[in-house]
């Protein structure tokens, strides 16, 4: 949409007032905001963070991620660039006031030094506070271990994430410098992440590469999909580990790390993840999705030596394989 506006806004005088004052004046009501022409090119999350009813980058990211922010009626990713003249809907009722305090939880630390740690996350625990999950998260369980870094206060040290019901390994920073260097590894695709996934069906080949962009589903902002207006490149590699009569155990390597990437990609090739109620096939006996981050390796962001960590399959996933083999 060209700068200059929509709905009769074309030709409006350009204001020279500071942006924060301008944004206060452009609030149509507490949840509708008209984006000024001066905001053309600005990221959605940065614009929302400057609104007086939001007031922080972390809160803006949570609102955008939860679908509580819509641009001309449609949810957009946080990196969406505004053009000016759009109508923003902001449901500030989704706001979260998270207070980070340490919580005691028995966690396995697979590797740690003064710069970072690799934690073995159990299934059922959310990585960081978010709408609906103010406490009981991995971040709060790691606060006493000195995690730090990043520009979102509620996510100190978090470089990459695992879904709540995915278990396994992830690396967490202990300083801003470590966070920046680990983020660079992620951008350069130097963080080697391996998973085990049990799927229904048989792959057509022993190895495969899935390359299909993923974004928010056109019809459901809480789902990721190949049917999207906001595609981001996504590449998943798989290799057959074990074959069962109606199932297969796959070893997965992520080349990119999009939200729900493995689950969406495998469903797209008719190999849905067992126990996944959203994209896969439910399994009441298992009670969770069969997806486990079993290996993690990367060059140390300071010394350059290879850091490698492994995680055994949790008991409930081993029991699921035993049932299929019996």
In contact, 102 and 144? CB cutoff 8 Å: yes
Q: What is the pLDDT of residue 213?
A: 96
The position carrying tokens 């080949």 is 205
Q: How far apart are CA 323 and CA 317, in angstroms?
A: 10
Cβ neighbour number for residue 74 with a 10 Å cutoff: 15
Q: What is the pLDDT of residue 88?
A: 86
89, pLDDT greater than 70: yes
Tokens of 186: 């992620």
Q: What is the pLDDT of residue 241?
A: 98
pLDDT digits (tens, 9 = 90+) for 234-246: 999 999 999 999 9
Helix (H) or strand (E) holding 138: helix 138-142
- 282 burial type by CB count under 10 A (0-12 exposed, 13-18 middle, 19+ buried): middle
Per-residue pLDDT averaged across 171-188, rounded?
Answer: 96
Measured in residues, the chain has a length of 326
Per-residue pLDDT averaged across 88-99, rounded?
Answer: 60
Q: What is the pLDDT of residue 130?
A: 67
Q: pLDDT-derived band of residue 53, with 50, 70 and 90 as boundaries? A: low
Cβ partners under 8 Å of residue 259, min gap 6: 214, 224
In contact, 195 and 252? CB cutoff 8 Å: yes
17, pLDDT greater than 50: no
230, pLDDT greater than 60: yes
Cα dihedral sign, 14-20-25-29: positive
Q: How far apart are CA 216 and CA 2, in angstroms?
A: 24
Q: How far apart are CA 226 and CA 222, in angstroms?
A: 14
Q: Which DSSP category does 230 fall into?
A: S
- Mean pLDDT (the chain) is 85
Catalytic residues, by residue number, are 163
147, pLDDT greater than 50: yes
Tokens of 238: 């798989």
Strand pairing class (167-173; 192-200): unpaired
Q: How far apart are CA 19 and CA 294, in angstroms?
A: 47
- Find the angle CA(79)-CA(82)-CA(85) to the nearest 5 degrees: 160
Per-residue pLDDT averaged across 59-81, rounded?
Answer: 85
Q: Which of 144, 124, 129 is nearest to 59 (CA)?
A: 129
Helix (H) or strand (E) holding 99: none
Helix (H, G, I), strand (E, B) or coil at 75: strand
Q: What is the pLDDT of residue 52?
A: 61
Tokens of 246: 């109606």
- Tell me the β-bridge partners of 172: 117, 158
Tokens of 202: 């048989």
State percent of the chain over pLDDT 90.
58
Q: Which of 266, 314, 71 is nearest to 169 (CA)?
A: 314
Query: 184 or 89, which is more confident?
Result: 184
State percent of the chain over pLDDT 70.
85
- Report the chain's C-alpha Rg in angstroms: 22
Q: What is the pLDDT of residue 4?
A: 37
1, pLDDT greater than 50: no
Q: Which of 198, 223, 238, 202 is nearest to 279 (CA)?
A: 223
């Amino acid at each position: 949409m060209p700068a200059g506006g929509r709905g009769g806004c074309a030709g409006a005088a350009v204001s020279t007032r500071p942006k924060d004052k301008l944004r206060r004046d452009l609030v149509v009501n507490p949840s509708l905001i008209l984006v000024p022409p001066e905001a053309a090119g600005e990221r959605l999350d940065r614009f929302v963070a400057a609104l007086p009813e939001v007031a922080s980058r972390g809160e803006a990211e949570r609102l955008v991620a939860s679908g509580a922010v819509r641009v001309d009626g449609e949810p957009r990713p946080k990196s969406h660039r505004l053009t000016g003249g759009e109508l923003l809907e902001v449901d500030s009722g989704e706001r979260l006031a998270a207070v980070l305090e340490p919580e005691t939880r028995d966690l396995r630390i697979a590797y740690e030094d003064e710069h970072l740690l690799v934690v073995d996350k159990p299934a059922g625990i959310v990585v960081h506070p978010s709408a609906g999950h103010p406490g009981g998260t991995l971040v709060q369980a790691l606060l006493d271990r000195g995690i730090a870094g990043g520009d979102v206060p509620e996510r100190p040290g978090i470089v990459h994430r695992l879904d709540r019901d995915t278990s396994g390994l992830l690396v967490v920073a202990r300083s801003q410098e470590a966070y920046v260097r680990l983020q660079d590894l992620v951008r350069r695709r130097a963080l080697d992440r391996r998973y085990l996934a049990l799927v229904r069906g048989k792959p057509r080949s022993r190895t495969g590469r899935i390359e299909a962009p993923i974004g928010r589903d056109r019809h459901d902002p809480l789902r990721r999909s190949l049917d999207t207006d906001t595609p981001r490149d996504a590449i998943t590699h798989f290799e057959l580990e074990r074959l069962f009569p109606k199932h297969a155990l796959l070893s997965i390597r992520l080349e990119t790390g999009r939200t729900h990437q493995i689950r969406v990609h495998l469903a797209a090739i008719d190999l849905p993840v067992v126990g996944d109620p959203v994209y896969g096939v439910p399994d009441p006996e298992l009670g969770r999705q069969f997806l486990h981050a079993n290996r993690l390796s990367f060059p140390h962001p300071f010394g350059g030596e290879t850091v490698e960590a492994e995680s055994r399959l949790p008991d409930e996933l081993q029991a699921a394989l035993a049932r299929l083999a019996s």
